[in-house]
Amino acid sequence: MMIKIDQKIVDYGVLKDEPETEAAEAVEEEKVVHLHEKLERPEMLLGSTYKIKTPLSEHALYVTINDIILNPGTEHELRRPFEIFINSKNMDHFQWIVALTRIISAVFRKGGDVTFLVEELRSVFDPRGGYFKRGGKYMPSLVAEIGDAIECHLRMIGMLRDEGLDEHQRKLVEEKRAQFEAAANSAGQAAAQDFPEGAQLCLKCNTKAAIQMDGCLTCLNCGDSKCG
C-alpha cells in the first residue's frame, strides 16, 4: 500500500515491535515466584521465636513463625511468613492452640495481605478479663497477645510499617513530657520509669501513659488527647 506525502518531512522515528516487548515482559513476570497455597515447603526455613509470659499461667508460651524467601538474590526478593507453631508446657489450651496454628498457617500459605490477622486476633477479649504486660500495655486476652507477637514479626520482616506520629502530635508529646519532667524535677521526684507512676490506660494505644496536664487527659505515648 502506497501513501502519498504532500507535506515536508520534519522528523522521523523507527517503530519498535511492541508485541515482542510485551511478550518479553510477560516471560520475565512468569519467572517471579509468588506465594500461594500450592507452593511446596522448602527443606529449611528461617524463623523467629517469641516468648509470651502472662499472669494467667505459670508456664510461658512460645510462638515460632517461620518465613519463606521468595525470589532470593533478585530485585523481587521477599520474606513472607509461611507457618506458625505455638508451644507450652501448659496443656489447658492444647486444642484451640493447635486449631489456631493450623488456621493461621493456612492463611500464611495462601499468600496476599495477611496483616488483617493482627487486628482480628487483637480484638479477641477474655470474658474473665485481661492483664497488663511489661511496659504497661493492656492485653485483653491470650489470643490478643499472640496477635501482638505476629504484629511484631510482620514489622520485623517489613510487611507492616510504623506510621508514627505526625509533626503536631510529636510536638504535643514532647511539650507534655517536658512539662511533666519539669514539674517532677521541681518537686524533687525524678521519674524512674518510662511513663509516670499512676498514669491511666490510654484507650487508643492500650498503654498506661495517660496523665492529667492542664486539666486534660493526654497520652505521653501516642499523643491522644481528650481536648483534641
134-147 per-position pLDDT tens digit: 778 889 999 999 99
End-to-end Cα spacing for the chain? 73
Q: Residue 135 has which C-alpha cell?
A: 511496659
Q: Which of 27-31, 108-112, 198-202 has the highest mean pLDDT?
A: 108-112
Q: Residue 160's pLDDT band (boundaries 50, 70, 90)?
A: confident
pLDDT exceeds cutoff 50 at 191: no
**Cα–Cα distance for residue pair 186/178, rounded to 1 Å:** 12
Percent of the chain with pLDDT over 70: 84
pLDDT at 25 over 60: no
Q: Give Dmax over CA atoms of the chain in angstroms.
A: 96
Question: Does the pTM exceed 0.75?
Answer: no
In 3D, which of 188, 191, 196 has the Cα closest to residue 221?
196
Q: What are phi and psi of 141, to 5 degrees?
A: -170, 170
pLDDT band at 15 (very low <50, low <70, confident <90, very high): low
Mean pLDDT along residues 103-108 = 96
Give the pLDDT score at 29: 57
| C-alpha cell belonging to residue 132 | 497488663
